[in-house]
């Protein structure tokens, strides 16, 4: 019965050697789907219900999944015209208005990619090894069709390495490695995830105060120059020890400026509006204040990132070092590594599965 916390993965630096099953790491909303006859529930990574946001997936579950089952997977939003996943559009699917939910369900329908089986009919599969769960999942979804998909899986490390290098071009996020003997352990990091890791030199154009007060930096706002000379907002870096947060606050004080002449003067607060723009808000926390303190764009920082989502870093970056030797105007998009293009449709139709001798 819902809710159930999904099994988690811990990061590793490289594709591991040994006896593993490798799967693509999808970039969407992790979800556990529950079906009991005509009843369907979709649970989130944080065990919260998401059923109301994806009515088209409820219909897909009823049409494609066994009558009684619990299946772990990922909600993704494919842009087949572009040949890749669209996480930005997927984020917009979380909307409070029922009319908007219905409209988006028809305009940007989501898909469900299944990769683990927790229960089927009256059988609990969480205590069975992953190789057995995978075989049962393949059988259960043998007749399923789009928008429900079975994720590709392979035991061949060379194939996994090829996926790792190619699938990013379709918007995927790396690889997951599972032991064939792995039991399903909710909320435990017992799988491995291998993600792309790169660095970029970015301009620091502002900061947000820490939640404890204005004497510490919460996050630094990063920018990259476009070819037209405009400084684009690309993301943040924010994982600092508290002592460093306070030191940064004092260190950046001489660079504090006004929005007059700042490249992001669109963020100038309006009367009675705390947020940078009246339409600026956090999709995950509507009450979160996204205003910031502008800085003269004179400092350069090197950050570590995994991949881009459009013109921005997909996730929060990690601090590497300051770059006093780098001129801010040289921090452009041209330095970023471009993944090789790969068609998403080819991945969703992949048939690579665990060999029979492993279950």
User: Are residues 238 and 145 located together in one domain of the fold?
Assistant: no
Q: Which mean pLDDT values do the consecutive 10-residue runs of the chain (359 residues) have?
A: 93 94 95 97 90 97 98 96 89 92 96 98 97 97 95 96 91 94 96 92 95 92 95 93 94 94 82 38 42 94 88 89 92 85 81 45
User: Are residues 48 and 164 located together in one domain of the fold?
Assistant: yes
Indicate the SS3 state at residue 34. Answer: strand
User: Are residues 265 and 143 located together in one domain of the fold?
Assistant: no
Note the pLDDT of residue 359.
37
**Are 189 and 9 a contacting pair, CB within 8 Å?**
yes
User: Are residues 96 and 239 located together in one domain of the fold?
Assistant: no
As a whole number of angstroms, the distance between CA 77 and CA 90 comes to: 6
Which of 158, 236, 157, 141 lies closest to 192 in space, CA to CA?
157
What burial class does residue 48 get, using C-beta atoms within 10 Å of its C-beta: 0-12 exposed, 13-18 middle, 19+ buried? exposed
- Using the 3D structure, point to which of 196, 215, 232 is the last residue of a domain: 196
User: Are residues 107 and 214 located together in one domain of the fold?
Assistant: no
Q: Active-site residue 25, yes or no?
A: yes
Domain-embedded: residue 357: no
User: Are residues 170 and 221 located together in one domain of the fold?
Assistant: no
Q: Name all contacts of 79-86 with Cβ < 8 Å and 24+ positions apart.
A: 79/344, 80/344, 80/345, 83/170, 83/341, 83/342, 83/343, 83/344, 83/345, 84/169, 84/170, 84/171, 84/344, 85/26, 85/27, 85/28, 85/170, 85/171, 85/172, 85/344, 86/171
| Active-site choice (25, 157, 193, 195) | 25
Note the pLDDT of residue 284.
37
Joined tokens for residue 134: 């995978």
Note the pLDDT of residue 291.
81
For residue 145, is the peptide bond before it cis, meaning its omega torsion is within 30 degrees of 0? Answer: no
Residue 321: give the domain boundaries. 198-335
DSSP secondary structure of 295-320: EEEEEEEEEEES-EETTEESS-BEEE
The domain tally of the chain equals 2
Q: Residues near 23 by Cβ (< 8 Å), separated by ≥ 6?
A: 115, 151, 152, 153, 175, 176, 178
Q: What is the CATH number of the domain that holds 185?
A: 3.30.470.30
Note the pLDDT of residue 350.
56
Note the pLDDT of residue 279.
34
User: Are residues 172 and 318 located together in one domain of the fold?
Assistant: no
Indicate the SS3 state at residue 93. Answer: coil
User: Are residues 211 and 181 located together in one domain of the fold?
Assistant: no
């Amino acid at each position: 019965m819902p809710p159930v916390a999904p099994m988690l993965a811990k990061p590793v630096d490289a594709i591991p050697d040994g006896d593993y099953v490798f799967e693509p790491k999808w970039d969407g909303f992790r979800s556990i789907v529950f079906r009991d006859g005509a009843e369907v529930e979709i649970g989130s990574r944080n065990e919260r219900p998401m059923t109301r946001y994806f009515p088209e997936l409820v219909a897909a579950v009823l049409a494609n999944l066994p009558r009684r089952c619990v299946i772990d997977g990922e909600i993704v939003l494919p842009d087949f015209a572009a040949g890749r996943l669209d996480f930005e559009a997927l984020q917009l699917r979380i909307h409070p208005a029922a009319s908007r939910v219905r409209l988006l369900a028809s305009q940007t329908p989501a898909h469900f990619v299944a990769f683990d089986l927790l229960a089927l009919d009256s059988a609990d599969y969480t205590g069975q090894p992953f190789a057995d769960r995978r075989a049962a999942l393949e059988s259960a979804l043998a007749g399923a069709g789009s928008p429900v998909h079975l994720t590709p899986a392979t035991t061949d490390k060379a194939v996994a390495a090829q996926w790792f290098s190619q699938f990013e071009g379709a918007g995927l996020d790396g690889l997951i490695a599972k032991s064939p003997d792995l039991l399903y352990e909710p909320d435990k990091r017992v799988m491995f995830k291998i993600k792309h890791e790169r660095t970029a030199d970015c301009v620091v154009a502002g900061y947000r105060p820490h939640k404890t007060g204005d004497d510490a930096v919460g996050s630094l706002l990063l920018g990259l120059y476009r070819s037209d000379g405009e400084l684009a907002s690309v993301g943040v870096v924010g994982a600092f020890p508290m002592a460093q947060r306070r030191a940064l606050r004092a260190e950046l004080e001489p660079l504090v400026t006004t929005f007059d002449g700042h490249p992001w003067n669109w963020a100038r607060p309006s009367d009675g509006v705390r947020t940078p723009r009246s339409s600026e808000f956090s999709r995950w926390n509507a009450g979160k204040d996204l205003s910031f303190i502008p800085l003269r764009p004179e400092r350069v920082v090197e950050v570590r990132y995994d991949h881009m989502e459009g013109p921005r870093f997909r996730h929060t970056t990690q601090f590497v070092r300051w770059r006093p030797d780098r001129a801010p105007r040289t921090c452009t998009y041209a330095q970023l590594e471009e993944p090789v293009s790969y068609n998403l449709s080819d991945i969703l139709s992949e048939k690579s599965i665990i060999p029979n001798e492993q279950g």
